[in-house]
């Protein structure tokens, strides 16, 4: 389940402390994030589904929780979220297999 020793819960106190250490950077990041996730060529729900997939590939537990919640608020069905996760799974596994070409190339050099 949730391992607080590895991933402490986000608290207002921790958020405030992080913000105080680099307030200008945080404000710039928040503005960037708002811009990225607002509707454009892609609607907000689609952007959140993409974020869920990417969060699973980057393995960010905070991002997984946050973007799953946001996707549901934007109208994503549980089935859509799970399908996005399966797309991420395929891409991650596919990348490992695709990179086997590098190992094959190296093995051929040794032959």
**SS3 state of residue 6:** coil
Find where tokens 């994030």 sit. Answer: 33
Whole-angstrom distance, CA of residue 84 vs CA of residue 8: 26
Domains in the chain, ordered, with CATH?
A: 23-110 (1.20.1290.10)
pTM for the structure as a whole? 0.83
pLDDT of residue 2: 59
Whole-angstrom distance, CA of residue 72 vs CA of residue 58: 20
pLDDT of residue 111: 73
Pull the structure tokens for residue 98. 């695709």
Over residues 33-57, the pLDDT tens digits come to 999 999 999 999 999 999 999 999 9
Residues recorded for the chain: 111
């Amino acid at each position: 389940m949730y391992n607080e020793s590895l991933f402490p819960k986000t608290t207002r106190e921790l958020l405030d402390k992080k913000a105080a250490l680099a307030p200008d950077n945080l404000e710039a990041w928040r503005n960037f994030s708002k811009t990225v996730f607002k509707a454009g060529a892609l609607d907000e729900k689609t952007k959140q589904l993409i974020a869920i997939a990417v969060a699973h590939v980057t393995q960010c537990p905070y991002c997984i929780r946050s973007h799953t919640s946001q996707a549901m608020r934007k109208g994503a069905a549980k089935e859509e979220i799970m399908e996005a996760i399966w797309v991420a799974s395929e891409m991650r596994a596919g990348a490992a297999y695709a990179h086997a070409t590098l190992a094959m190339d190296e093995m051929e050099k040794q032959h």
